[in-house]
A and B are shown apart, each in its own frame.
Chain A
Amino acid sequence: MVTTQPSKWVQFLQSKLTQPGEWLLVQYWKHRAPVTTPTWVWKTAPGDNLQQCMNLVMPLADKTDVGRARAAKAVAANVDEIFTGLNNVGTVHFARFDLIGGNLCMFSVYDGDLENYLRDFISVFGSVFDALMELVEAPPPTPCGLHPEAFIDWIIAHDAFQITGDVPSLFPDEGNIANLPRDVVLLLEQHPNVQLGRYSGYPGKSAAQIRLATGIDW
């Protein structure tokens, strides 16, 4: 079979026009047919209380290497407090801080409810987050121990949106499945940070059960 390649001029024009054209289409459709972000109710059954993901993406106020180094230093200076705090929370499978571009990120997998997890945070290492909040864009009021609701709202707003189920179920009100690709585009336009799926090597088990089964807990 002979395939016809577009000429170099056509390829050049495509490369220059495609992205701006798509950007314009996205701006048009987000006003013409906006999508509604599904609520947490969409993704959770009552049994969905184990090994939940938190993907906290915190934009740094200073995104230069100097600012990033300041963030790395703030985390490193509090390692003992973070580790002891996470041990005391007791429901955490794993947690880690990453610097990704101009963002300080905390990724963790925990058991139970997000709000309760965050209240435990505030209780056991709130002072670490007070230090980190000094480095991020548009921080919530500190200390977080005195403003827990504002802190929790801020964290939830910076937690990546999670697509863990099938895509059609995200848009139950969509009347035409041919529009689902556009709905996804508009959802991503609303949420620059998104978790796509998840896998667990030992699903259905809490952190406490794992520790008990492996003999490293009381």
Chain B
Amino acid sequence: MVASPTDGGLSQRLFDALIADYPDHRPGTRPVHAVGIGAVGYFVPSDVAPRFTVAEHFQMERVNVTVRFSNGSGSPVESDAAIDVRGMATKFHLPSGDSTDLVMSSLPVFFSRNPQDFLDLAKAGEPKPVKPQPRWSRLTDMLLLREPRPPADPSSPNSGTAGVIAYANCHPFARPAIIAALTQPAPTSYARATYHAIHTFKFTDPDGNVRYCRFAWEPVAGVRPETRSGLPKDYLHTELRQRLMRGPARFVLRAVVGGQGDALDNPTKGWDTTRLRVVMGELVLTQLAPDAGAAVEPLSFNPTRVVPGFDISNDKVLVARGAAYAYSCRQRGGTGC
């Protein structure tokens, strides 16, 4: 079950705002995370998981899953080596025929406290012509003890980065996510990055106790950023294909249980590393999705598609994402919207 789409046109505005940030957006594709690759496998819940939630997929011996890895950009042009957010969306196929999703990205926190923040940021990030940084400006940066700016991408004369930085200057809450997004290097593999659910969810245990949790997929192979240059633009896809031919890729699902004073409905704020951390299970990806992912690309993944025992919090961004993802899915003719 996903959040109600009756949101007074907010979903459409969010969708349109994202499309405006990517002038080369191709109709029929996702507005962001446009380039992706599907894989299939199964999830094995840990022994302790049923103590924390009665959600169906944590009670079973194993659950089949479909995963879509992606690059954050809404451009249909693949650029795996680009500094960008990576996505990992997971669909748990329940025996009843229903499903539940976990939608995660490599960002540890989010840009926006509410949908209006997100619209403002998307507006600020609309691409504008970029001029190369003059030499005198580099010298000024050095004297100001600033980091040297990365060189402009000659293949992309327009960029929204300056607007996003200007937005961050006026909105301190957005800085951790924006700085992470602007500096996060590409991983060596989709299977060697950590992915965060960003929002807070609610676990209900067998005694009816409710715990507020955040989640992350942690790669068993370890996190490794890419340092080589000159890689093919589709190297992440090629690497995943080769990796899964050699053997499965594994991730551990960790839940972090919120403590007193933690931001439960504000995804721009991180939680302290001393919070209780629980291993909820292991994901085993065995092969790429059949038919080159033909069934995965149109498939809807929705962070609010949850089941009893695993509920969404009052996070306004999460609620808005639920409706916006459903709207976006219908706009692109997706499946399972």
Chain A interface residues toward B at CB < 8 A? 22, 25-26, 29, 44-48, 50-51, 164-169, 172, 174-182, 185, 197-200, 203-205
Given known pairs A26-B145, A199-B273, the reply for A48 and B259 (CB within 8 Å) is yes
A25–B146 alpha-carbon span in the complex (Å): 11
- Chain A residues whose CB sits within 8 angstroms of the CB of B273 once the complex forms: 164, 197-200, 203
- Chain B residues whose CB sits within 8 angstroms of the CB of A178 once the complex forms: 141, 144, 146-147, 165
Given known pairs A25-B145, A48-B259, A165-B270, the reply for A205 and B276 (CB within 8 Å) is yes
Interface segment, one of B169-177, B241-249, B317-325, B326-334? B169-177
What's the tally of chain B residues with a CB closer than 8 Å to chain A?
Answer: 28
- Chain B residues whose CB sits within 8 angstroms of the CB of A48 once the complex forms: 259, 261, 272, 274
A46–B262 alpha-carbon span in the complex (Å): 8
Contact yes or no, B260 A46, CB < 8 A: yes
With both chains docked as a complex, state the minimum distance between the C-beta of A54 and any C-beta of chain B, in angstroms.
14
- Chain A residues whose CB sits within 8 angstroms of the CB of B178 once the complex forms: 177
Per the 8 Å Cβ criterion, residues 239-294 of B in contact with A are 257-262, 270, 272-277
For A201, give the chain B residue with the smallest CB separation.
B277
- Which of these, B145, B257, B274, B275, contacts A182 with CB under 8 Å? B145
Contact yes or no, A204 B144, CB < 8 A: no
Contact yes or no, A45 B262, CB < 8 A: yes
- Chain B residues whose CB sits within 8 angstroms of the CB of A172 once the complex forms: 172
- Which of these, B169, B257, B272, contacts A177 with CB under 8 Å? B169
Taken residue by residue from 136 to 173, chain B's Cβ proximity to chain A (1 for < 8 Å, 0 otherwise) reads as: 00000101111100000000000000000100110010
List 29 contacting pairs A-B, 8 Å CB cutoff, sorted by A. A25-B143, A25-B145, A45-B261, A46-B260, A47-B259, A47-B261, A47-B272, A48-B261, A48-B272, A50-B274, A164-B273, A165-B270, A166-B109, A166-B270, A169-B172, A172-B172, A174-B172, A177-B169, A177-B178, A178-B147, A179-B146, A181-B147, A185-B145, A199-B273, A200-B274, A203-B273, A203-B276, A204-B257, A204-B277
Contact yes or no, A177 B168, CB < 8 A: yes
- Chain B residues whose CB sits within 8 angstroms of the CB of A45 once the complex forms: 259-262, 272
A197–B141 alpha-carbon span in the complex (Å): 28
- Residue B221 is within 8 A (CB to CB) of chain A in the complex: no
With both chains docked as a complex, state the minimum distance between the C-beta of A87 and any C-beta of chain B, in angstroms.
23
For B167, give the chain A residue with the smallest CB separation.
A177
- Residue B77 is within 8 A (CB to CB) of chain A in the complex: no
- Which of these, B143, B144, B172, B262, contacts A179 with CB under 8 Å? B144
A160–B146 alpha-carbon span in the complex (Å): 25
Contact yes or no, B145 A47, CB < 8 A: no
- Chain A residues whose CB sits within 8 angstroms of the CB of B169 once the complex forms: 175-177
A45-B262, A46-B261, A48-B261 known, 18 other contacts, Cβ within 8 Å: A25-B145, A26-B145, A29-B144, A44-B261, A46-B260, A47-B258, A47-B259, A47-B260, A47-B262, A48-B259, A166-B109, A172-B172, A176-B169, A177-B175, A180-B179, A200-B273, A203-B277, A204-B274
- Chain B residues whose CB sits within 8 angstroms of the CB of A29 once the complex forms: 144-145
Chain B interface residues toward A at CB < 8 A? 109, 141, 143-147, 165, 168-169, 172, 175-176, 178-179, 257-262, 270, 272-277
Q: Which of B258, B274, B275 has the most CB of A within 10 A?
A: B274
Contact yes or no, B262 A169, CB < 8 A: no
A185–B274 alpha-carbon span in the complex (Å): 27
Contact yes or no, B145 A204, CB < 8 A: no
Given known pairs A45-B260, A47-B262, A185-B145, the reply for A165 and B179 (CB within 8 Å) is no
Contact yes or no, B175 A168, CB < 8 A: yes
A166–B144 alpha-carbon span in the complex (Å): 22
Contact yes or no, A204 B262, CB < 8 A: no
- Chain B residues whose CB sits within 8 angstroms of the CB of A203 once the complex forms: 273-277
- Chain B residues whose CB sits within 8 angstroms of the CB of A47 once the complex forms: 258-262, 272, 275
- Which of these, A25, A164, A167, A204, contacts B275 with CB under 8 Å? A204
A47–B269 alpha-carbon span in the complex (Å): 15
A22–B276 alpha-carbon span in the complex (Å): 42
